[in-house]
Amino acid sequence: MPQTSTSSRRASARSSKKQSNASANPAIPAAEFAARRARVLRALASDGNAIGLVLAGDADPSLSHTWRPNPNFEYLTGITDEAGAILLFDPSNPVQGRRVQLYLRPLNPELERWDGFREPVSSALKQRHGIETIMRTNSFSRFLLDSAKRAKRFACLHPFAAHHAPLSADLAIMRESSTRIPGSTICDLTHLLPSMRSIKSAAEVACIQRAADITALGFAAARNAAKPGQTEFDVQEAAEHAYKSAGARSTAYNTISGTGFNATVLHYHANSKPIGDGELLVLDSGASFGGYAADVTRTFAVSGRFTSRQKLVYDTVLKAQLAAIRACTAGAKMSQVDAAARKVITAAGFADNFIHGIGHHLGLEVHDADPATALEPGMVITIEPGIYIPEESLGVRIEDDILITRGAPKNLTAAIPK
């Protein structure tokens, strides 16, 4: 082989390492998205060949934050940059390639000079998304009418809205269509996607684990920043800077960094108070990776040592959390997991100071789709008991992300000390 300089070899090694790390990043494969859509199609076919709609949602015209699609749409397509897109399921369509149809907004070259250029519909685009029929939304009404006249049955896939809120987007379209096609019916399949999304695939667990590993780096940085004289925001910034340095594009939710009295406020977000010596700091934060969230809470003694009172409360919360994690077995209900933690806290005399539930499902959303069923292998949930005593400016919460398995539960955030 030709001889190379030492600097060239080092540069080549660095390049190879970067490529290796990039290729190792977990992601959801296109085949998995296709399998998810196929499962929805089968469910609709078994329910009278009902038509299903999943809408991505409209863009935020204010540009005040990064747009993200409805999580059901993202779960079924992996597409995160097409506001206004519509996914149509038509299981009885005589053309097999049209049983799943994707509609994207028309191209607008002048607008795209501001917001970014978009691809034309092509065979390459269809192959990448794994969807044979991709059209523009200006033809959606025509093809929906063709499908609706034949099927005369619709199925709601998005969650229903509360009575004082606007109709869910899919239901609004279905109601308008059904009034124009006599004999049409609308059925409820809103349970389908939560039941699918709650069971994570190996690829999804890998994304959550990567988010958790990145979060561990952020918590280590935050712990070093949590010193008297610094501010709560200094701790937040240290954690979030570490997330981004490690490959996370964003946090999974707004970081909570509260000391003293602020540690007793569950969703405290000001993160502005100077940190006082002898205080506890509650840090509730998580990185997002590949669209999947981590959600972790740790409580630090800023001075490095707990007072006897702080230690009593902390140890109680820790024992409650460990009891709840042990209860995270397949077949258990979240109410039973909650009861395991609450029993410990009540026995210690803090029953009135544990004022929230034990946890929630975790995935594409921090509070992810919940099928309201017993725990099953593949579910990922948070376990986060807490004790809050405002009159003592004393709050403690400890939270981990737990994978339900056929055996013992797996703590995905065990690398973060507590």
In a domain? residue 210? yes
Which domain range does residue 274 map to?
199-411
Among 146, 169, 197, give the residue marking a domain's end.
197
Find the mean pLDDT for residues 391-395.
Answer: 98
Number of domains in the chain: 2
Residues 237 and 372 in one domain: yes
Among 132, 163, 197, give the residue marking a domain's end.
197
Checking if the pLDDT of 4 tops 60, the result is no
In a domain? residue 92? yes
Residues 225 and 361 in one domain: yes
**b/e burial code for range 369-399 (CB count within 10 A of at least 16 → b):** bbbeeebeebbbbbbbbbbbbeeeebbbbbb
The whole-number pLDDT of residue 62 equals: 66
Find the mean pLDDT for residues 52-70.
Answer: 86
Dihedral sign computed on CA atoms, order 123, 125, 131, 134:
negative
The whole-number pLDDT of residue 218 equals: 98
**In this structure, how many other beta carbons lie within 10 angstroms of the beta carbon of residue 223?**
19
Among 164, 197, 230, give the residue marking a domain's end.
197
Residues 207 and 352 in one domain: yes
Which is more confident, 65 or 300?
300
In a domain? residue 336? yes
Determine the 3-state secondary structure of 205 from DSSP: helix
Residues 281 and 192 in one domain: no
Find the mean pLDDT for residues 219-235.
Answer: 97
- Give all strands (DSSP E) within 61-105, no chain letters: 86-89, 100-104
Q: How far is CA 378 from CA 124, 202, 381, 402, in A?
A: 33, 8, 10, 10
Checking if the pLDDT of 14 tops 70, the result is no
Strand partners, 382: 401
Which is more confident, 282 or 168?
282
Check: CB of residue 252 under 8 Å from CB of residue 215.
Answer: no
At 13, the pLDDT band (50, 70, 90 cuts) reads very low
Checking if the pLDDT of 7 tops 60, the result is no
Checking if the pLDDT of 5 tops 50, the result is no
Tokens of 81: 């940059």
Find the mean pLDDT for residues 398-403.
Answer: 98
pLDDT in tens, 113-137: 988 899 999 999 999 999 999 999 9
The whole-number pLDDT of residue 65 equals: 75
Dihedral sign computed on CA atoms, order 19, 21, 24, 29:
negative
AA identity, residue 360: H
Q: What percent of the chain has pLDDT over 70?
A: 93
Checking if the pLDDT of 61 tops 70, the result is no
Residues 130 and 82 in one domain: yes
The helix or strand, by DSSP H or E, that contains position 112, with its residue range, turns out to be: helix 109-115
CATH number at residue 300: 3.90.230.10
Checking if the pLDDT of 400 tops 50, the result is yes
Q: Which long-range contacts (CB under 8 A, 24 or more apart) does 301-310 make?
A: 302/226, 302/227, 302/228, 302/259, 302/275, 302/276, 302/277, 302/278, 303/228, 303/277, 303/278, 306/280, 307/278, 309/392, 309/394, 310/280, 310/394, 310/396
The whole-number pLDDT of residue 281 equals: 98
pLDDT in tens, 350-382: 999 999 999 999 999 999 999 999 999 999 999
Burial class (CB in 10 A: 0-12, 13-18, 19+), 342: buried
The whole-number pLDDT of residue 12 equals: 40
User: How much is the mean pLDDT over the chain?
Assistant: 93
